[in-house]
Amino acid sequence: MPKRSWITVGLLLALLILGGQAAHADRVELSADTPRIDLDQGQLSYFRDPTTKRTVAEARAAYREQGFQALPGNLGLGFTGDAVWLAVEVTRPADAPTDWVLALEPPTLDLVELYQFHGEQMQRQISGDGLPVAHRALFHRTPAFALQLQQGQTLLLLRIKTSSQVTAIPVLSQRAAFEQTQVMSSLVFGLFFGAMVLVLLYNLVIALLIRQSIYLLYCGYILLQTLSWFSYDGLLGLYLLPDNPLLANQLLGGFLSLHIALSIYFYARLLKVERRHRFSRMLLLYCYLAGSVGSVSVFFGLFHWVLPWIMAAVVLSFPALAPHAVRFIRSGGRVEQIFGGIYLLFAFMVLNDVLASFSLLPASLWSAYSAQIGQLIHVLALHLALYYQVRLGERQRDEAHIKLEIARHDAEEERSRRREQDQLLQMIGHEVRTPIAIIVSTLESLQLMEQEANDDPDKALRYQRIQRAVQRMEILMQLVGVNARALREDAYQIRIESVDLRRLCRSALDLLVEGAERITLDLPPDWSPQVRADAQMLSFAVLNLYDNALKYSLTPEGIEADLHPLRQGDRDGVCLRICNPASPLAAGMEERIFEKFVRIDEHANQPGLGLGLHLARRIVEQQQGWLKARNAGTNRVCFELWLPIDSGGEA
């Protein structure tokens, strides 16, 4: 485009802007058929007074001289210390009603002055939450003015001065329509605060019953939110503190500050922001500090200075909490996903309020009250989510209780089976002892008779074999009792005493019916280590190791056992090492062979169930020791049994 064309377009835009700034707004035509008029369709114009000292005459003169700027919608200037003048011209025809009401939202405007001009006649009214209710133009929660409009044109000049955000949403209504709207709004407020109180009381009962801090925080969150809205809607100053507007405004600032701080802390707990999240914790710390300072500043008249910092804290809470909400939605459980979604909804509503407070969004009645309705929906959603969490926890507790009862029943059945097994083993042992005793006594009688007769030398050898078989049966009956005790989960029948391990190793070797001569036992002649153990059970463990070495040796010779001192950490101990020529243990087999029903060589033609080594390790561990297996070179396996030496030292 040529340079000359750019200049022309720029001049036209400048003229349009300047013309828009100086032009008067459209007049409002009243009608009997229009009970309510929202003044957000270009009917308003405004003028800012940074000095706050302009008189009504000066403001009217500025209006006549095109000094007011037209508003495309409602007034929204954010936080400013300026006084703002609003102007609107109304025309009442002869058939239109004379009684009208001009009301301004929100209720937090401190002082609003209305100057009504009809020709040169002027009427003045004042209202605002900075005045006692008796001094306001109308008994209403918002700045509202009763108008008696004459036929023809009337100029309405409004002067607004407030310490909160400068937002004005004016509505012009016929008196009957205004009163009908008040009845409806009272019903809506009753339902809103009734629902909030009902949710608060219900969750307070739940909090007292289950005693979880998150529910107490939620109750505090609902309480402060209810008080904040009750104050913000002008109901606190209208009904409870009609003669003390300063205290009502201070309580509004205090409730709002505490509500912001507690809501951020509540969501930090709900979203489980941990100490390791330093960035989030630092931002949250600033939010808590800003809310606390804001709640104190109201009593020193400094809240309007602190309020922007509180709003900034609200904005800073989003990057501190939103990532955790997203994490809940992506990877959390059902309840955590619900909590994450509710927070994001809450953050969206709060962000909308903050942007509107700084006039970054257009002001409207819908945006003013949609936030309140959204907060109610948000509170109810949180209530349902927490209720679902309680029910889920109860269901999980019930399932855990059922599992516990099943486990207890199974354990009782297992104990009952073990008691029956013990009784059966004891009965078998008792019943077997009688024939063994008969066999022993008969064998002794026969030996005496054979000694006297001395007619068959081979019979003596047969008697010896019978005697060894009986001895083996007696050993087996002793081991049956040891097996039953070692397989128990508890060790209440272990008889701990000081045991001479050197003597026990020798005695266990003598208990072997066959193969004892194949084991070379190297015991120090002048060292008898004492250990604290159950002698019978420990003897069984050593006997099992001897028997294992005999079973799985590749050659009849080469089985060696020795006893030597071995220190473990700060404890003195003694180690019994039994090595035999055998196939090397496969990788991982060093531990698996001590499991139940696992044998060193499943294909070996050796009797057994794979319980010997398992029982041996269990017995040794009950005596505060350990039992290990390892490969020692090619074709050699060693088992090492370690026990701590008794504090009495060596014998």
Q: Are 608 and 590 in contact (CB under 8 A)?
A: no
Instruction: Give the pLDDT confidence score for residue 463 in this predicted structure.
Output: 66
Q: Are 579 and 615 in contact (CB under 8 A)?
A: no
Instruction: Give the pLDDT confidence score for residue 127 in this predicted structure.
Output: 97
Range 232-238, long-range pairs (CB < 8 A, 24+ positions): 232/106, 232/107, 232/108, 232/256, 233/107, 233/141, 233/189, 233/372, 234/107, 234/108, 234/129, 234/141, 234/142, 235/141, 235/189, 237/129, 237/133, 237/141, 238/133, 238/139, 238/140, 238/141
Give the C-alpha separation, 106 to 110, whole Å. Answer: 10
Give the C-alpha separation, 612 to 619, whole Å. Answer: 11
3-class DSSP assignment, residue 512? coil
Residue % of the chain over a pLDDT of 70: 83
Q: For the chain, give the mean pLDDT.
A: 84
Half-sphere exposure of 496 (CA within 13 A, CB side): 10
- Closest among 602, 419, 638, 620 to 538, alpha carbons compared: 620
Q: Are 620 and 614 in contact (CB under 8 A)?
A: no
Q: Measure Cα distances from 28 to 90, 123, 292 in Å.
A: 4, 19, 46
- For the four alpha carbons of 258, 263, 266 and 272, in that order, the dihedral sign comes to negative
Q: What is the CA radius of gyration of the chain?
A: 48
More confident residue, 168 or 453: 168
CB within 8 A of 609, min separation 6: which ones? 597
Q: Measure Cα distances from 606 to 495, 539, 541 in Å.
A: 32, 22, 19
pLDDT in tens, 1-55: 444 433 333 433 333 333 334 445 678 999 999 999 999 888 999 999 999 999 9
pLDDT in tens, 590-612: 898 888 767 665 444 554 456 77
CB within 8 A of 181, min separation 6: which ones? 36, 173
Mean pLDDT in residue range 630-634: 88
Place of tokens 């060894």: 468
Q: Are 47 and 67 in contact (CB under 8 A)?
A: yes
Mean pLDDT in residue range 63-77: 91
CA 228 centroid distance within chain: 27
Instruction: Give the pLDDT confidence score for residue 323 in this predicted structure.
Output: 93
pLDDT in tens, 76-96: 888 888 999 999 999 999 999
pLDDT bracket for residue 160 (50, 70, 90): very high
pLDDT bracket for residue 254 (50, 70, 90): very high
Instruction: Give the pLDDT confidence score for residue 492 in this predicted structure.
Output: 43
Phi/psi at 496 (nearest 5 deg)? -80, 135
Q: Are 531 and 574 in contact (CB under 8 A)?
A: yes
* The pair of three-digit structure tokens given for residue 180, joined into one six-digit string: 């009908």
Instruction: Give the pLDDT confidence score for residue 651 in this predicted structure.
Output: 46
* The pair of three-digit structure tokens given for residue 558, joined into one six-digit string: 């080469």
pLDDT bracket for residue 220 (50, 70, 90): very high
Phi/psi at 574 (nearest 5 deg)? -130, 140
Torsion of CA 364, 365, 366, 368, to 10 degrees: 90
258-262, 408-412, 437-441, 531-535 — which is least confidently predicted?
437-441
3-class DSSP assignment, residue 522? strand
More confident residue, 98 or 21: 98
pLDDT of 226 over the 90 cut? yes
Residue 263 pairs with which residues in a beta bridge?
A: none
- Closest among 6, 304, 346, 310 to 161, alpha carbons compared: 304
pLDDT bracket for residue 560 (50, 70, 90): very high
pLDDT of 386 over the 70 cut? yes
DSSP string, 133-181: GGGSSSSSSS-EEEEEPPSEEEEEEEEEE-SS-EEEEEEEEEHHHHHHH
Mean pLDDT in residue range 484-491: 51
pLDDT in tens, 496-529: 889 999 999 998 888 776 788 899 999 888 888 9
H or E stretch at 403:
helix 365-453
Give the C-alpha separation, 500 to 651, whole Å. Answer: 8
Q: What is the number of other CB atoms lying within 10 angstroms of the CB of residue 231? A: 25
Instruction: Give the pLDDT confidence score for residue 489 in this predicted structure.
Output: 46
CB within 8 A of 275, min separation 6: which ones? 281
Mean pLDDT in residue range 203-227: 89
Instruction: Give the pLDDT confidence score for residue 364 in this predicted structure.
Output: 77
282-291, 358-367, 636-645 — which is least confidently predicted?
358-367
pLDDT of 276 over the 50 cut? yes
pLDDT of 164 over the 90 cut? no
Classify residue 394 by burial, with Cβ atoms within 10 Å: 0-12, 13-18, 19+: exposed
Instruction: Give the pLDDT confidence score for residue 18 in this predicted structure.
Output: 36
More confident residue, 265 or 473: 265
- Closest among 568, 565, 530, 534 to 648, alpha carbons compared: 530
pLDDT of 438 over the 80 cut? no
pLDDT bracket for residue 408 (50, 70, 90): confident
Mean pLDDT in residue range 426-440: 67
Give the C-alpha separation, 367 to 386, whole Å. Answer: 28
22-31, 60-69, 336-345, 632-641 — which is least confidently predicted?
22-31
Mean pLDDT in residue range 94-106: 94
Mean pLDDT in residue range 62-79: 90
How many residues in total does the chain contain? 651
CA 303 centroid distance within chain: 34
Mean pLDDT in residue range 317-331: 92
Phi/psi at 532 (nearest 5 deg)? -95, 110
Give the C-alpha separation, 517 to 523, whole Å. Answer: 15
Query: Which amino acid belongs to residue 255?
Result: F
Instruction: Give the pLDDT confidence score for residue 399 in this predicted structure.
Output: 84
CA 227 centroid distance within chain: 28
